[in-house]
Structure formats: C-alpha cells, structure tokens
Structure 1
Amino acid sequence: MTSEEKIVSDIKSYGWHIISVFEGSESYQFSYTIGLYRTYNVPELVISGLPREISCSILSHIVEDIKSGKRVGANMKSADYIEGYSCYFGLVDKPKYAEYFGKALWYYNGDNFPMLQCVWPNSDNLFPWETKMVFNQDILFNN
C-alpha cells in the first residue's frame, strides 16, 4: 500500500490520518493531521518540536474531543491537552503549506483547507513569543 493509499484508507475508516515528519534532526520534527476538514469540517492540526509519541498523543486527544463535538479555533488557549499546561492554537499561514504539508496538499488537491498549529509552552507556561527562551518548535503563523 502506498502512503497515499494509506491516507485515503485511514480517512475512510477513521475520519482522519496523521503524518509525522522527522528529518534526521531533533529540530525538524512535526506531526499533522489530514482529513479532519473533510470529515468534521474543522481545521487540520499540526504540532512541532516534540517526540513523535507525544505529538501523536496530543493530536489524538484533540481529535477525540472533536469527534465528541468540542471545537478548537484560532487564537484559542486550552488547558485540556497537555497536563499542567495550556496550549495555544494559531492559524497557520498559507505560504507555509508547501514546505510542511505536502501530503495534505496532495489529498485536498491544493491549499483549500485551514490548518491550526498547537503550540506548547515552556515549563513556566510561557509561549515562545512571551519569553526569550529558545523553543524547539517552528511557529507557522504570525501572532
């Protein structure tokens, strides 16, 4: 089964698929969903800078809430997904799509879908734009 066939199969069976991209270095890692927009009419989701198991777990938790009718949106904070911390959802800038979301662009035949980034804070519960501390995550939106 090709990766494209797997994406289509998972979306047909489960309503969504997850892609993890880990390009040989700890600094370039992210996971994102495909199919949420078509299945549930909600934005796709991306999280970066965390190990695959953690990012997939967080995304799966958010998707379970979506399936139950809960929604996340741009410029929203939530304490529901990372124990003891809030996360922030920002609307990803379309010019970033080509660099990060190739399989989603293939599936949707273009960039006609919204994508929210789930941004995690540091141990002081501060987001990258609130502190000078270096974070290991790419911010894909303007805030």
Structure 2
Amino acid sequence: MSDEKREKYFKMVYDNIEKYGFHNTYVMEEIGFTPFGYSTGIYKNFRIPELFISGLPNGLTNTLITNYAERFKFKEIPLNKKIDDLIDRFPVYFIEVENDKLTEYTLSSFKFYENSEFNYLQLIFPDLNGFFPNEAEYDYDQEILGE
C-alpha cells in the first residue's frame, strides 16, 4: 500500500471512530487464508474490549461487532458463556485474546492505540450444524487465537 493510500485509509479509520465511536476492519478470504474482522476504538470510547472475529463474511462480521458495541458498551462482558441473542442466527460466546497473538491481524488498532493500553476478545460461533470449536463434531474454518 502506498503512503498516500495508507494515509487516506487511516484518516477514514480515525473519522469513523470520531463519528461512530469505532471502526470495523475486514480482511477478505484468500486461498489458504481465513477472513477476519476486528474493531478499533471500542475500548477507548466504550470501555469494553475490542472484538476480533475469524471466518465469517464481511456483512455478518460488521453486524456482530456493531451489536456487541451497542449491547455491552460500559458494561461487563460475560466470558465463555453462550449468548443467544447477540444476533438472531446463532449463539456466540467471547474468549480473551492476548494482544501479542493479534499483532499480525489488528494493525489499525495497534496504530490507533500506539503505546496506550487496550485489549481484545474473540467472538466464537458454531458451525452450520450448531457445534462449537470445543466439540468433537465441529467442522468450520474459524481460527481460534484466544482461550
């Protein structure tokens, strides 16, 4: 990415954070590469962890991040507990992810926060048959980075 494009991109990120309180970034699927999306600005503006999602399409990822921010801003997040109503399609749960596991993924967040404190959760979702990654029958391409 050229310096001009990078500067334009980060201006958009900062503008979205200023206007909406956060920005969603989505990285498309490629051969041998699982798509992912993440938030930037939620921790600063809503005092809850940023959110990382692996393996879902762009629109669904954006909806989940937006619903998460709206539902949990300034509240405590339940970890490792199924939530049935974040979206009407399937249950999800949240796990903690260490920032050092996300350095290659969440570049906009690392630039935005620079040396400031922030943290992430990962949203975990079931496969098409309703099985979660910790179940033997699970069959879906979701990269799990947290615990």
The Cα shift of 1:85 comes to: 2.5
CA distance in 2, matches of 1:31, 1:12: 20
**Corresponding residue of 1:121:** 126
Of residues 69-78 and 89-98 in structure 1, the stretch that sits farther from structure 2 once superposed is: 69-78
1:53 paired residue among 59, 78, 101: 59
TM-score of the superposition, structure 1-length normalised?
Answer: 0.86
The one-letter amino acid paired with 1:8 is Y
**Corresponding residue of 2:3:** none
**Corresponding residue of 1:136:** 141
CA distance in 1, matches of 2:99, 2:143: 15
Q: Which residues of structure 2 form unaligned runs of 5+?
A: 1-6
- Change in 2 beyond 3 A, CA 1:29/1:137: same
CA distance in 1, matches of 2:32, 2:38: 17
**Percent identity (aligned):** 30
Maintained 8 Å contact 2:84/2:91: yes
**Corresponding residue of 1:34:** 40
CA distance in 1, matches of 2:116, 2:132: 27
CA distance in 2, matches of 1:32, 1:46: 4
Maintained 8 Å contact 1:16/1:36: yes
The C-alpha deviation readout for 1:28-60, integer Å capped at 9, x for no partner, is: 201110000000110001111011111111212
- Change in 2 beyond 3 A, CA 1:111/1:74: farther
SS in 1 for 2:77: coil
The one-letter amino acid paired with 1:91 is E
- Change in 2 beyond 3 A, CA 1:79/1:27: farther
Maintained 8 Å contact 1:16/1:34: yes
Verify: 1:19 aligned to 2:25, yes or no. yes
Q: Which residues of structure 1 form unaligned runs of 5+?
A: none
More strand by share: 1
2:9 paired residue among 3, 7, 11: 3
Give the alignment of 1:54-133 within 5 angstroms.
Answer: 54-67=60-73, 71-110=76-115, 112-133=117-138
